[in-house]
Structure 1
Amino acid sequence: MQVFDTVVIGAGVSGLTAARLLAQAGQRVVVLEARDRIGGRTWSHRADGYVADRGASWIHGIDDNPLADVVSAFGMRTAEFTVGSYQPDGRPIAYYGPTGERLDDDAVQRFADDIRHFDEHLAAAVDASESHGTYQEAIETALAGLAWDVDRAERVREFLLHRSEEQYGVWAGDLAARGLDDDVIFGDEVVFPDGFDELAENLADGLDVRLEHVVTRIAWTPDGVTVSTDQGEFMAARATVTVPIGVLKSGDFVFEPPLPEKHARAISGFEMNNFEKVFLRFPTKFWDDEVYAIRQQGEAGKWWHSWYDLTALDGVPTLLTFAAGPSAIETRSWSADQIADSVLEALRGVYGDQVDVPHQVLITNWQDDPYSRGSYAYMKPGAGADDHDLLATPIEGVLHIAGEATWTEDPATVTAALRSGHRAAQNILGRELPFGALTEALT
């Protein structure tokens, strides 16, 4: 049996961040990863010169963001793409009304102003909501207070419902009223033309990472842990656990004895979402020029309502859309051809016969991934925002849970994963650590 100071479970950004900082401090660290690759939910597809991020794509706001500093220090190439947080405007967006006409600039401005005005009322409705209140209930409360006409209210309502789906991959009626409280962006958003998983490659450099080690059990006492995998056992003074909420709740990952009640309660307040990406690469560009995104309002946009123009990343005409929330659930068993046909039919509602046949389609399948069981976590009604940090509270000094779901300010992001791994390392070492150390070579 192999013995270490710390066993880190999960080679995503959170686990690799913790492991790198601990190794730099002189600890004997091993990272156990169930998959045959590192990166977790940062996973970039590369084929025929094409790069597409299957998982995380954006840094949502680069101002005062340690993740932005880290990727810059690693020399990773970025491109500004500030529409990843479902903003109503701020960057050029082509809006199409319920009957298929493109809205002029004045109509878009009025709509965006409505969203901003509504958000002020929504914030008050969220603050006044009960603990088991839903985001949908808060939307309806805010709309009722405005007394807008039916069409005006419906355009805003559908925008907010789509925001819930695109931001958290969940129907608004299943999301806690405060589930989008963290939705504040500071500065530009950026994406990664060369693939976001370069971050994991850089963080893993020099670490002892064991791939295809599926952890099934963590036996723990105040004196240490024994981690059981399908390839043997590992002993250590402590473990840092960075697996997704879906794995923690699966029953295939066992703590012995069980986690303390407060941690178990916090885990129960989260659920993994239903969120998939659909990339379509075309021989020619048939959509609007000089826009970041295309959005369809009304019933025609119930499922496929937003397309993002990724052409600038590599020069090949490419649109990205999302199967998010209800559409991801409904299409989960569909073939790639069925999903592509459905998306193309929606596009024809906007562009008619101009819509070309894509020469490449890529569709993700995080819902069926046994090592994530969804794309990221969302907060269920009844859960509290402090459950994120509560989940990360060290247990007897030997168990440290980290990952995107354990950071309160901006959960469900790579920034949250990085920060949570950094926090776990600080808790273990008992001192503050600079983020800049992550880009230093291991000695």
Structure 2
Amino acid sequence: MAHSKGSIGIIGAGFAGLISARELERLGYDVEIFEARDRIGGRTWTEERMGYTLEIGGTWVHWMQPFIWAEITRYGSEIVASPVCDEAFWIVGDKVHRGKEADVDEKLAAVQAKIFERSRELFPLPHAPWTNRDAVEAADTGTVLDCVRNGEFSDEEVALANAYWNAGYNGESRTASPIMAAHWASLSDHRLSLLDDQTLRYKLVGGMKRIYTKIREDIRGEVHLNSRVTKVDDLDAGKGVDITLEDGTTRHFDQLVVTLPIGALRTIDFTGDLPKHAKEAMVEGWNCTGHKVWVKIKGHRKVLAYAPDGHPLALLRSEYFLDDDTTICVGFGPDHAAIDLNSVEEVQKALDAWEADLEVVDTFSHDWVEDEFTGQTWATPRTGQFLHGHPEKLRHGNLIFAGSDWAAGWNSFVDGAIETGFRAAREIDELHS
């Protein structure tokens, strides 16, 4: 048997933790994962709800997201497209407009082009967003919609952009960094159509569970469920890391990979120093205070709907058509506390704003912001935070901070989580080379 190159502890059994473990074992390390929940997957969570297999968390994938596509290929998963909608509704002021999905795309084209205007300049290498660090930092002022509130665009165009980015940032666009939108554009060949395809068009047949369970099967080390880490003590250089579990048990490792979202880092007592970008983000919090909801409506309807500030749902679109003549739609909004998303009555009231004759029969949402093990939805930056979420190095002392919050590329997506898993393994191995 080959001699182990070292012992690595991993906090969190989401994609970042699982990929870190698999890759570290491949490189010759002994690994153990500690997961506070009773399941693996982290912010990806595939579950049967409302008579269908639904993604409670992360959902969309694309062949131009290199890390998730490699795993899709490795494990033989398939993708399916969301429907193109033949009914579209969007609210401007107190008026509801109607058309088709193509009409919405056309109306968004010019205003989004303005928001993406500097994407080529700022991000010549999209998977190394720190390449133009000084320029990116200088541009990270104001908010994502400031550049379109100058009279150049109509109220309708601005309202649509407002709704789009309230959903995209999963938080208030009025506090959202303008840089994330430009970075997403750079990862999408600077094209809105490709951005839309990458972020809200294709999903896995059978859900993310089809992949994260396969990755788990490829890991030899133990994955300890219901094992919450309460304390991390990063010792002096070369002395490793001690962790303490909720039951008082202590363990020692050479290095520790921490994959918790920034919103959950405060649940652990870190006795050593944390990286500057993580400390600042912990104090400020990300912009992602919103929600995701699944809504079942009567009839088979291919519906797309947008609503700007003042509405609890910014975006609703049809996803699945069931045999009982119902449609399951997915919705997003900027404020998780603005509506009881598990109340048919409250969700019905929100949908009524579109005057689309949509009758709600069931609804389900998990509040990721109130979930103590996440404390947020997908990571999106407030003004001035963009580079906090894209650190050039993941390692700090004997700790390595991985997870989609810290991705170089698709920060906040499964692709970004997987990317950091690979980077974490490489940075650890560099220490032992």
- TM-score range (shorter-chain normalised) is 0.7 to 0.9
- CA, structure 1 residues 312+77, in 2 after alignment: closer, same or farther (shift >3 Å)? farther
Measure the CA separation in 1 of the matches of 2:275 and 2:100. 56
Which residues in structure 2 correspond to 1:209-358 (within 5 Å)? Answer: 209-221=223-235, 222=237, 223-231=239-247, 232-248=249-265, 250=266, 252-261=267-276, 263-265=278-280, 267-268=282-283, 270-271=285-286, 273-285=288-300, 287-288=301-302, 293-296=303-306, 302-311=311-320, 317-326=326-335, 328-331=336-339, 336-347=343-354, 349-351=355-357, 355-358=358-361
Measure the CA separation in 2 of the matches of 1:342 and 1:356. 10
Measure the CA separation in 2 of the matches of 1:14 and 1:315. 38
Shift of the alpha carbon at 1:165? 1.6
Which residues in structure 2 correspond to 1:17-416 (within 5 Å)? Answer: 17-47=19-49, 50-59=52-61, 61-63=62-64, 65-81=66-82, 92=85, 94-96=87-89, 98=91, 99-103=95-99, 108=104, 110-119=106-115, 121=117, 130=138, 133-136=141-144, 139-144=145-150, 147-148=151-152, 153-184=154-185, 185=188, 188-189=197-198, 190-205=202-217, 206=219, 207-221=221-235, 222=237, 223-231=239-247, 232-248=249-265, 250=266, 252-261=267-276, 263-265=278-280, 267-268=282-283, 270-271=285-286, 273-285=288-300, 287-288=301-302, 293-296=303-306, 302-311=311-320, 317-326=326-335, 328-331=336-339, 336-347=343-354, 349-351=355-357, 355-358=358-361, 360-385=362-387, 387-390=389-392, 392-396=393-397, 398-416=398-416
Amino acid across the alignment from 1:256: T
- CA, structure 1 residues 316+405, in 2 after alignment: closer, same or farther (shift >3 Å)? farther
- CA, structure 1 residues 209+346, in 2 after alignment: closer, same or farther (shift >3 Å)? same
Measure the CA separation in 2 of the matches of 1:97 and 1:378. 24
Q: Which runs of 5+ in 2 are unaligned?
A: 1-5, 123-134
Bigger shift: residues 372-381 or 63-72: 63-72
- CA, structure 1 residues 23+272, in 2 after alignment: closer, same or farther (shift >3 Å)? farther
Amino acid across the alignment from 2:401: I
Shift of the alpha carbon at 1:374? 1.4
- CA, structure 1 residues 39+400, in 2 after alignment: closer, same or farther (shift >3 Å)? same
Measure the CA separation in 2 of the matches of 1:24 and 1:124. 37
Measure the CA separation in 2 of the matches of 1:362 and 1:78. 23
Amino acid across the alignment from 1:193: V
Report the 3-state secondary structure (helix = DSSP H, G, I; strand = E; otherwise coil) of the residue aligned with 2:42. coil
Measure the CA separation in 2 of the matches of 1:123 and 1:142. 15
Alignment-derived partner of residue 130 in structure 2:
none
Aligned residues: 395
The C-alpha deviation readout for 1:39-86, integer Å capped at 9, x for no partner, is 000001215751010000101x3126121121132122311238xxxx
Shift of the alpha carbon at 1:380? 2.1
The C-alpha deviation readout for 1:100-139, integer Å capped at 9, x for no partner, is 4523799657514433543455769997995662324xx2
Bigger shift: residues 32-41 or 69-78: 69-78
Amino acid across the alignment from 1:133: T
Shift of the alpha carbon at 1:361? 1.9
Task: Indicate the RMSD between aligned Cα atoms, in angstroms.
Answer: 3.2
TM-score scaled to structure 1, two decimals? 0.79
Measure the CA separation in 1 of the matches of 2:211 and 2:339. 31
> Percent of counterpart pairs with the same letter?
18
Measure the CA separation in 1 of the matches of 2:86 and 2:339. 27
Alignment-derived partner of residue 88 in structure 1:
none
Amino acid across the alignment from 1:141: C
The C-alpha deviation readout for 1:320-373, integer Å capped at 9, x for no partner, is 2434213x23226x75234323234235x123xxx3341x32122112111001
Report the 3-state secondary structure (helix = DSSP H, G, I; strand = E; otherwise coil) of the residue aligned with 1:417. helix
- CA, structure 1 residues 409+93, in 2 after alignment: closer, same or farther (shift >3 Å)? farther
On the 8 A contact 2:54/2:207 being kept in 1, the answer is yes
- CA, structure 1 residues 212+107, in 2 after alignment: closer, same or farther (shift >3 Å)? closer
Measure the CA separation in 2 of the matches of 1:302 and 1:182. 27
Alignment-derived partner of residue 430 in structure 1:
430
On the 8 A contact 1:122/1:142 being kept in 2, the answer is no
On the 8 A contact 2:344/2:360 being kept in 1, the answer is no
Shift of the alpha carbon at 1:420? 0.3
